[in-house]
């Protein structure tokens, strides 16, 4: 049992690594920074090993927890605890085991960055890992939410790691805002659940689920599900994930495999009894899951960029997990999570090596000939792709995906159509995965690329490739360990499932031979309305956030916006809120027409111009303008901030006046002493009055 008490210390080395790297003022040399950063990520895996071993001995049963501390606040007791059940063991093990190779790899990948950047990188990666470990081990919602927000913040800072690149910064902002919307829903859901259950411990909350009214349970489950889906980049929150590729490759490898996007899956799996009690929410989760799985696979097929392709592939694979969760098979989802984490980080790391050798370009076409330039990177990518595609029998991905498909088949009346959709998605998965493999494996004229690598690159690739192949043997054990029923798949179904990836590979071969067909499909898909959800996001959330940030960020926020609008009226393109977004340029042409609407909405945002066509929209705009003019304007330029600044500045003036009292003259001193005595006497007289 004593090994079990190590569990709360598993995330600690990563946290210590963050503190040492970010908060200590000592100047550290490059080697020390890398050693601390990598060591702090490897130590959790080492600490976790004895815990996992004693867990396999039977120490962890479903619902076991290690209490850390409890805070008594009157009637409420906030309990902080870590769970010690199969779920946290599987997910925690995956996170620890995947993070260690990724950090070792990034020691080589980021080695040439300037020292302060390197230090920032490792500090953030360690905090990221600590937050994720807190999420997977959390036995209470407080620790869970703290870890949840930590990974959200870290993902923002890591995606926007190259702060000089506007693309990276805006990608980070997008990820932050999108996940923040989802996090708000999650927080609301968790609070409602807390109010209903009266405890912060997850096991206590799940025990209280049967006694919660159904009409109350549905919004709770819905809010938590949306929060989890936002973190997992599922439709309709999927937009942040592809642009998150702006960060360094190891960040993508960690973000896409074991951390961040997996957090939503883990949360859904942990709260599975809650969703089992709310079947309509589960159905919604399953629908969004299959939608994202199919959709992501379809878009990945037409991607010209390897990192983008892998991003959509992550979306699609997480969609499979969410589908399994929605259909009430959390153990299957977890098995797929563990296998996916291994092969997805393998894909990212080997793709990073290959694109490094292809002149730093991430375009798939640039990888042509990688098989001859970087043979081992290519073959490890091929192994990862085979596992992603789920080639029958030999890869781990086949076993876990087959388990998902079987769970879909046996899920009830909707099982068959859902299974068909999932099988098509699986076929497309093989297509996009092998399109890259075929292109990278083909001949190329340019073979004179400098080899790049070393032990720090080779070891992680070999470890992960081994897991991606051999891991398949453990899928059945994983599922039964995580509490899932043993699935006996009908032979016909297994054969059909096996046919899907093979068909997909054949399709990939055809697309590579005849790139024209793919281009035609890509051109047709570009007009699908659903793809424009990104623009709507921009309008409703990102732009608004930026506007608020501009107004609050500097004292002249509104003036700056008005000035930009005035400049824009004179046809001068100003960087800023309106001219920045793509649709504004499209609508900007209409503003030159001098009709009534144009005059009323002159200098307004394109959305306002768009809406002002009909009478209801015009009323809305009028109301909004009055509201802004009478109420919002009072707060900008930020009066509250100015008041505080004046208050703080006033102290300086007060002290300048106060020093004049000190004349240094004996007579004045005597006067103050006398006045003080009089004051004391008056006080004594006043208080002793009867």
Residues that bind another protein (CB under 8 A): 659-667, 670-671, 674
Closest to another protein by CB, 575 or 664? 664
CB of 661 to another protein, least distance (A): 7
Tokens of residue 43, six digits: 């130590």
Closest to another protein by CB, 70 or 663? 663
Closest to another protein by CB, 643 or 671? 671
Give, in order, the Cα–Cα distances in Å from 525 to each of 9, 294, 532, 583.
49, 14, 11, 19
Give, in order, the Cα–Cα distances in Å from 566 to each of 310, 442, 572.
43, 55, 9
Closest to another protein by CB, 491 or 661? 661
Question: Could you report how far apart the first and last alpha carbons of the chain are, in Å?
Answer: 71
Say if residues 218 and 153 touch (Cβ distance below 8 Å).
no
Give the HSE-up count for residue 330: Cα atoms under 13 Å, Cβ half-sphere: 22
Say if residues 321 and 541 touch (Cβ distance below 8 Å).
no
Closest to another protein by CB, 2 or 657? 657
Q: Which of 301, 457, 456, 336 is nearest to 406 (CA)?
A: 336
Residue showing tokens 């996007």: 261
CB of 688 to another protein, least distance (A): 17
Closest to another protein by CB, 599 or 665? 665
CB of 629 to another protein, least distance (A): 49
CB of 686 to another protein, least distance (A): 19
Element (H, E) at 593: none
Element (H, E) at 61: none
Tokens of residue 207, six digits: 């025990």
CB of 681 to another protein, least distance (A): 12
Overall size of the chain counted in residues: 690
Say if residues 123 and 150 touch (Cβ distance below 8 Å).
no
Closest to another protein by CB, 526 or 659? 659
CB of 679 to another protein, least distance (A): 15
Closest to another protein by CB, 375 or 676? 676
CB of 673 to another protein, least distance (A): 10
CB of 657 to another protein, least distance (A): 11
CB of 685 to another protein, least distance (A): 14
Closest to another protein by CB, 165 or 675? 675
Q: Which of 118, 155, 119 is nearest to 135 (CA)?
A: 155
Give, in order, the Cα–Cα distances in Å from 216 to each of 38, 207, 227, 275, 401.
46, 16, 17, 13, 35
Say if residues 7 and 53 touch (Cβ distance below 8 Å).
no
The count of other CB atoms within 10 Å of the CB of residue 91 is: 27
Element (H, E) at 67: strand 65-73
Q: Which of 200, 256, 217, 266 is nearest to 233 (CA)?
A: 256
């Amino acid at each position: 049992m004593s090994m079990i008490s190590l569990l709360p210390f598993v995330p600690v080395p990563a946290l210590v690594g963050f503190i040492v790297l970010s908060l200590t003022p000592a100047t550290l040399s490059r080697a020390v920074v890398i050693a601390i950063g990598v060591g702090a990520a490897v130590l959790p895996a080492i600490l976790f090993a004895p815990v996992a071993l004693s867990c396999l001995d039977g120490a962890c049963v479903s619902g076991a927890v290690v209490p850390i501390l409890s805070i008594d606040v009157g009637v409420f007791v906030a309990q902080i605890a870590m769970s010690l059940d199969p779920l946290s063991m599987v997910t925690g093990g995956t996170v620890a085991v995947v993070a260690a190779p990724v950090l070792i790899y990034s020691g080589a990948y980021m080695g040439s960055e300037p020292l302060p950047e390197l230090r920032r990188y490792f500090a953030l990666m360690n905090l990221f890992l600590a937050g994720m470990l807190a999420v997977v081990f959390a036995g209470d919602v407080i620790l869970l939410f703290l870890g949840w927000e930590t990974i959200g913040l870290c993902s923002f800072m890591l995606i926007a790691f190259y702060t000089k690149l506007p693309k990276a910064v805006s990608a980070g902002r997008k990820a932050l805002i999108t996940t923040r919307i989802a996090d708000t829903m999650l927080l609301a859901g968790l609070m409602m659940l807390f109010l209903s259950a009266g405890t912060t411990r997850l096991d206590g909350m799940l025990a209280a689920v049967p006694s919660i009214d159904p009409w109350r349970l549905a919004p709770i489950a819905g809010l938590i599900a949306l929060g989890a889906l936002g973190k997992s980049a599922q439709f309709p929150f999927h937009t942040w994930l592809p642009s998150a590729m702006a960060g360094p490759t190891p960040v993508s490898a960690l973000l896409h495999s074991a951390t961040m996007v997996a957090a939503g899956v883990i949360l859904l799996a942990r709260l599975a009894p809650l969703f089992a009690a709310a079947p309509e929410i589960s159905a919604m989760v399953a629908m969004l899951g299959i939608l994202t799985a199919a959709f992501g696979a379809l878009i990945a097929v037409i991607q010209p960029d390897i990192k983008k392709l892998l991003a959509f592939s992550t979306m699609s694979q997480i969609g499979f997990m969410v589908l399994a969760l929605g259909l009430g098979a959390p153990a299957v989802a977890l098995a797929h999570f563990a296998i996916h984490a291994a092969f997805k980080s393998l894909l990212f790391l080997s793709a990073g090596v290959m694109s490094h050798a292809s002149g730093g370009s991430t375009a798939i076409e640039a990888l042509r000939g990688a098989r001859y330039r970087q043979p081992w990177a290519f073959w490890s990518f091929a192994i990862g792709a085979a596992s992603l595609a789920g080639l029958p029998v030999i890869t781990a991905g086949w076993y876990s995906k087959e388990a998902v498909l079987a769970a879909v088949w046996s899920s009830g009346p909707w099982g068959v159509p859902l299974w068909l959709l999932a099988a098509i998605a699986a076929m497309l998965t093989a297509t996009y995965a092998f399109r890259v493999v075929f292109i990278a494996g083909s001949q190329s004229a340019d073979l004179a690329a400098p080899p790049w690598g070393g032990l720090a690159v080779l070891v992680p690739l070999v470890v992960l490739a081994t897991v991606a192949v051999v891991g398949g043997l453990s899928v059945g054990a994983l599922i039964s360990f995580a509490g899932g029923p043993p699935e006996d798949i009908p032979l016909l179904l297994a054969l059909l499932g096996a046919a899907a990836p093979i068909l997909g590979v054949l399709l990939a071969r055809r697309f590579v031979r005849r790139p024209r067909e793919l281009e035609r499909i890509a051109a047709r898909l570009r007009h699908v309305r659903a793809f424009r959800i990104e623009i709507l996001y921009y309008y409703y959330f990102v732009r608004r956030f930026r506007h608020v940030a501009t107004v609050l960020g500097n004292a002249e926020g509104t003036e700056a916006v008005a000035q930009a609008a005035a400049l824009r009226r004179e046809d001068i393109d100003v960087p800023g809120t309106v001219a920045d977004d793509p649709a504004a340029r499209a609508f900007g042409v209409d503003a030159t027409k001098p009709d009534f609407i144009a005059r009323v909405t002159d200098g307004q945002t394109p959305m306002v111009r768009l809406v002002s066509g009909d009478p209801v929209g015009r009323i809305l705009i009028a109301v909004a303008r009055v509201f802004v003019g009478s109420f919002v304007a009072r707060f900008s330029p930020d009066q509250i901030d100015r008041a505080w600044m004046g208050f703080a500045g006033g102290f300086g003036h007060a002290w300048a006046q106060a020093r004049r009292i000190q004349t240094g003259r004996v007579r004045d001193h005597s006067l103050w002493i006398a006045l003080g005595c009089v004051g004391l006497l008056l006080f004594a007289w006043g208080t002793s009055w009867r």
